[in-house]
């Protein structure tokens, strides 16, 4: 199924590349990555409270 998806996108991926994509798209990997888990962007929108 993973190869079908890469073929659908018009990409010829090696088995290693497919495994890398699967790893990078896992929930555990995305939770650890500030770019994909939202923490990088939230800091720009949260105000510091002044007392």
Calculate the CA 5 to chain-centre distance: 17
User: Whole-structure pTM over 0.85, yes or no?
Assistant: no
Quote the tokens at residue 48.
Answer: 């510091």
DSSP track, the chain = -HHHHHHHTT----HHHHHHHHHHTSHHHHHH-HHHHSHHHHHHHPPPP--
* Residue 46 confidence (pLDDT) above 70: no
pLDDT at 32: 85
> Per-residue confidence at 51, pLDDT binned at 50, 70, 90?
low
The domain ranges of the chain are: 5-50
pLDDT at 41: 65
How does pLDDT run across 2-36, given as a tens digit for each residue? 778 788 888 888 889 989 988 888 888 888 887 77
Quote the tokens at residue 2.
Answer: 């993973």
pLDDT at 34: 76
With contact defined as beta carbons under 8 Å apart, do 6 and 13 qualify?
Answer: yes
């Amino acid at each position: 199924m993973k190869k079908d998806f890469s073929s659908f996108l018009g990409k010829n991926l090696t088995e290693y590349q497919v495994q890398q994509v699967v790893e990078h798209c896992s929930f555990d990997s995305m939770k650890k990555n500030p770019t994909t888990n939202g923490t990088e962007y939230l800091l720009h929108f949260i105000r510091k409270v002044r007392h």
